[in-house]
Every structure is written in structure tokens, then in C-alpha cells.
Amino acid sequence: YQHFTAGQSQMSIKMFIRGRPITMYIPSNIQNYEDLKMEPPSEKLELDWVYGYRGRDCRANLYFLPTGEAVYFIACVVVLYHVNNRTQRHYRKHTDCVRCLTLHPDKVRVASGQMAGVDKDGKPLQPCVHIWDSTTLATLQQIGLGTFERGVGSVAFSFDSGAFLCVIDDSNEHMLSVWDCAKGTKHAEVKSTNEAVFAVEFNPSDSTNIITCGKSHVYFWTHSAGQLTKKQGIFGKYKKPKFIQCFVFSLTGDVLTGDSEGNILTWGKSAADIMRQTRAHEGSVFTLCNLQGGALLSGGGKDRKIIRWSADLAPERECEIPEKFGAVRTIADVDGEELLVGTTRNAILRGTFSDGFVAIVQGHVDEMWGLATHPSQNIFLTCGHDRQVCLWNTEEHKLDWCTTLEVGHAHTHTHTHTHTCTHTHTHAHTNSVLDETNHICFDMLSLL
């Protein structure tokens, strides 16, 4: 650490965590910090619970396992949450933020891709994909070290027993590569596009065919003899959307794309052949999800609707998720009736068309900057750039309440010694005092 003076009387220490400087101020009741002799505690920390879900800027990152567990990620951890037992397991082998996730056809193995990062000494760590067993949490293969740039944006297993994995990285060219899952070797690699890429998938009936989509494009790739060649989707008489957000394959082998115009386009066996345009949502179609028997679910952005479609794309049912949870980011089918829904405001909802949806996972919507534990109760407070102050219950692992401050970004928390109030300081130098029933007692402006 580095010791220095901040102002005339306030002292602080600077520590480097993963190469990033963290400034911590010394409590005023400590007069001679240098004379303190502190030994590390004998206790070892264990991860008990992970709060939150990353839906704001990630896609296709929620799956349901036969074990009854939902699989999703937040920060460096992939969470396996049993939705009935309300227990968690954690895959913790990633060294920086996880950005994508996919499930193997056997419904046991998982592939998760991470960003580049730094180790505890600030040295660079390379992005990669981990293939791991969701039953044992054992890592089976680590793919792409030294190959990917910046991070991994999308991954997908082939449907022929999951022998291959295709990957899109976060480089400027969004490199598309195909890997042997068992050996960890690369079969092919090609520059994809300089535009954003949102999804990649193997054709279920032919693993030599791969689809990618993103900003203003759908590409149909053929993998043969170590080479990848592409054919661009032609929109023809249909308006070319700004973004192709997602796609799935129908039972007949057609490709169904969801786009920023709110349409579902049906592409035939030829990339140049759009057979049909179906009006689906107001605003973007953020996700498509196949159901047993050929039915389809679509999730909307602006309208926040989930619509069930028949195999021939006739609308059958619809519902709207509450505005406070944001738009529909991704959908996981539980049993044909019950669904899990990841949202753009970082929540996971559980429910049905008939009964509606309730949140089973919640978190902050923007960077979290403050945390304070209660002196005597099993609760803690968090705050962040989303202007939200949240009270969490560590016994029941749930959000007790959340309130939104009117001014500035919340940065710090302090519990009072009476244990009944909390003080929050914002980026706009406003101070708020709240009681523990979520009531703002008063606000005041700092004179700085």
C-alpha cells in the first residue's frame, strides 16, 4: 500500500486490487496508523450467496437444467440456482467478468466465456471459454487462451452430440472460430464483420452450417475443410432492420430472426429467401425461444410483452411484464407452461401466462458503489449509479425493499448507532437519511 495525506487532517491508504488503485480513509479515532500491528484473521471466507443477474448488456444467458436449477451469470461467477429449493451452487473458475453462456445438448455441460482481465498483481489475463460439468462443477476444457481479443461475446455447441463449439470474440473483426470440444483445438477461424454481433448458432440438422446475426446483417456460414465461407442474407423487398437481435431454427429447418423493427422474419433454406414477415412487437424483438411441438415464444423490448406463437406463427397468448423490471432480455422454458424471464433491469422472473410473473432474482441496474452491513441484524444496504438504495436480507437471500433517490448517483452508506436509520451520500453532494422501512426522513445538500 501507499500512505499519503489527503487534505490537512484526513489520512488514507491506497491499496491495489487487481492492478486498480483503491483509496480507503483511516477512521478518525486512529491516531498512529503506522504503529498498528494487525495480523490477518484466521477465518477463511466462503461464498454463501450471489445477488443479481447481468441482463442489461448481455443476451441468451439464462437456461434451465433438468436438476431444477436456473443457470445464469453475474460478475465472474456462473450461478446455479435451484428455483424450488432456493439454494445456490457456483462455478468460480473464471478470472474476470463472464459475458456469454450456452448449454450443451446433453443438458449437463455448460460453456461460458469471459472478458480479458488482470490477476491480483495487475498482470494481463487472456479471455477464454470454459467448458464445465454442471453436476460436479469440474472444468472439462479451457478453450482459446491466446486466441481471443478483449473477450468472448457469443458461444454455441453443435447439435451432433456437442462435438464442436463456435465462438465470436470481441475484437474489431469479431472473429468467428470453430473448436473441437474434446481436444480443445481450433478447426477454423475467419473475420466475421466490423459491426456488432449478437448471436451465433449451429444449424441443428447440419453442423457444417452456422448462423450469425447482429447490426444490419444475417450471415449464413459453411464450415468445410478447415475453411469458413459466408453468404449474406438478402432482405430484398423487406425493410432492412438496423439490428437483427436474435434467431432460432424452426422444426422444419427455417431460420426465424427477431429484429429492431419488431418483426419476425422467416428465412428459407437459401440465405436470399425471406419467405415471410410477421409483425410481432412494438419496438425490438429481443429474444426468441422454441417450445416443444414447434410453438415459439418472443420477448419484446419497448412493449415488454411475451407472446406465444403457434408453429405457423399465429399468436396464441400474450402477457406483459411489469415496467419496473424493464424489457424482456431472454426466456428459458421450464415445463412448457412455466417460464423464467431475464430482464434488462437485471431481474429474473418466474411465472406463467395465466398467473403472471414474480421476481426470484434482483440486483442493481447500474454500477454499485456503496455497501453497509447492519451492526446487529442479518441485513445489509447497497446503493449505486442507478440511484437505488436496496435493503437485502441475508437469511432469506432476498431483497426486502428498494427505493430510488431523486437526485444524483448514490455512493456511500452509513448505519446510525441507533440501528434505525441510514445515511446516503450522492454524487450530486446530496445527503439523504432513510429509516429502515424505506422512508426518506429528510434530504440535505452538502456545502462543499
Tens of pLDDT, residue by residue over 352-405, are: 999 999 999 999 999 999 999 999 999 999 999 999 999 999 999 999 999 999
Cell of 328: 424482456
Region at 21 (left for phi over 0; alpha for psi -120 to 50; beta for the rest): beta
| Block residue for cell numbers 479471455 | 127
Phi, psi of 80 (to 5 degrees): -115, 105
| Intra-chain end-to-end CA distance of the chain, in Å | 29
Predicted TM-score of the model (pTM): 0.89
If you average pLDDT over residues 8-24, what whole number do you get? 77
What's the CATH number of domain 62-361, 2.130.10.10, 3.30.470.20, 3.40.50.720, 1.10.520.10?
2.130.10.10
The whole-chain average pLDDT of the chain stands at 90
> Has residue 438 got a pLDDT over 80?
no
Other CB atoms within 10 A of residue 424 CB: 25
Question: Which helix (H) or strand (E) covers residue 4, if one does?
Answer: strand 2-6
- Alpha-carbon torsion (143, 144, 148, 154), positive or negative: negative
Please state the domain extents for the chain.
62-361, 368-409+432-447
What band does 33 get if pLDDT is binned at 50, 70 and 90? confident
Phi, psi of 346 (to 5 degrees): 60, 40
- What is the rounded CA–CA span in Å between residue 101 and residue 81? 15
> Has residue 407 got a pLDDT over 90?
no
CA nearest neighbour of 266 among 305, 233, 315: 233
User: Alpha helices of 226-337 — where are they, by DSSP H?
Assistant: none
The per-residue pLDDT for range 44-74, each reduced to its tens digit, is 999 999 999 999 999 999 999 999 999 999 9
Q: 3-state DSSP call for residue 391?
A: strand
Phi, psi of 294 (to 5 degrees): 100, -5
